Amino acid sequence: MAAFSGSRSGDSPCPIITINWGPWGEAGMAKVGTKAYEQAVREGDTPLKTQTALRCLAASLRSAATSQQAACQFCACDVEWQQSQWKDLPILDLVTERQAPSLPGPAPAGEFNKSAPGIPSLEEFMANYTSQAWTRIKGKSLMKLGLDSLEIVQFRNQFNKHFGANVPLRVVAEPSQKIGDLVLALEPFVKGTGLAGG
C-alpha cells in the first residue's frame, strides 16, 4: 500500500519541512539489483520510482506552503504494512486493517527457549537471515557475508523484534567479528541478561 501522510506542529523562526523517505529504487543504496533493494522488498517496503518520489516531494512542498504551521513532517513510502517490520505498531491502526497473526510473536525477554516450537535457535535465525547453512557462515565475518552498514542495522532491528530483545547497535556493528562470536555476544540479550542501551 503506498502511503503519503503528513503532520504539522510547533512554532519555529523559519518554515521547517521534514520528509521521512522510504527507499528509492532507481538511485542510492536501495536501487534495483542491490541487497538493500531485495531486503526492502522482502520486508514489504517497495523502493520508490524516482518519478513517484519527486511527485511526493512536490506534494509535500505544496502542502507545507499552504500550512499555517511553521513545521511540517511527511512520510513518503510504498509499504505492505502487514508484511513490514512495523506491522505491530499501534499507529498503523490509522492506515491499515490488522490481520490475525499466523506465526508466534517474539519471545519475551528472559523466556527464550531454544527448543520452543516456532522459535528458532540463534544459529537457525542467523542461517535463515543470511539464507546459508550455519556450518558455512559460523566462521565468516559480517563483512565476508557482504553485509553493509545498512544491512547490519536492519539485522539488529529484525533480531530485536523476533527475540523480544534490546541489543545495542555496538554489539553487532563490528563488521570483522565472526558470526559464531556474534551469536555468543547475542545470547545474553536473548536470555534477558544483557545490558540495555542504544
Domain range for 170? 122-190
Distance of CA 97 to the CA centre of its chain: 20
C-alpha neighbours within 13 Å on the C-beta side of residue 28: 13
3-state secondary structure of 126: helix
Q: What 8-state DSSP symbol labels residue 47?
A: P
Number of residues that this document lists for the chain: 198
Q: CA 53, CA 75: separation in Å to the nearest integer?
A: 11
In a domain, 113, yes or no: no
What is residue 1's predicted lDDT score, i.e. its pLDDT? Answer: 43
Phi, psi (rounded to 5 degrees) for 55: -65, -40
C-alpha cell at 60: 509535500
Provide the number of structural domains found in the chain.
2
In a domain, 103, yes or no: no
In a domain, 99, yes or no: no
In a domain, 143, yes or no: yes
3-state secondary structure of 19: strand
Kindly state whether residues 88 and 145 are assigned to the same domain: no
Q: CA 198, CA 167: separation in Å to the nearest integer?
A: 8
Kindly state whether residues 78 and 17 are assigned to the same domain: yes
**Dihedral sign for Cα atoms in the order 64, 65, 69, 70:** positive
Bridge partners of 20, per DSSP, are 75
Helix (H) or strand (E) holding 49: none
In a domain, 107, yes or no: no
Kindly state whether residues 143 and 64 are assigned to the same domain: no
C-alpha neighbours within 13 Å on the C-beta side of residue 21: 17
Q: CA 42, CA 80: separation in Å to the nearest integer?
A: 10
Tell me the helix, strand and coil percentages in the chain, rounded to 5.
40, 15, 45
Q: CB within 8 A of 188, min separation 6: which ones?
A: 194
3-state secondary structure of 24: strand
What is residue 191's predicted lDDT score, i.e. its pLDDT? Answer: 73
pLDDT tens figures, 39-80? 888 888 889 999 999 998 988 888 877 766 777 788 888 888
Phi, psi (rounded to 5 degrees) for 164: 65, 35
Q: pLDDT tens digits, the chain, 198 residues: what are they? A: 445 455 544 555 677 888 888 888 888 888 888 888 888 888 888 899 999 999 989 888 888 777 667 777 888 888 887 777 777 776 666 666 655 444 334 434 333 334 444 556 888 888 887 778 888 888 988 878 777 777 788 888 888 888 888 888 888 888 788 888 999 999 888 876 555 444
What is residue 153's predicted lDDT score, i.e. its pLDDT? Answer: 81
In a domain, 68, yes or no: yes
pTM of the model: 0.43
In a domain, 195, yes or no: no
In a domain, 84, yes or no: yes
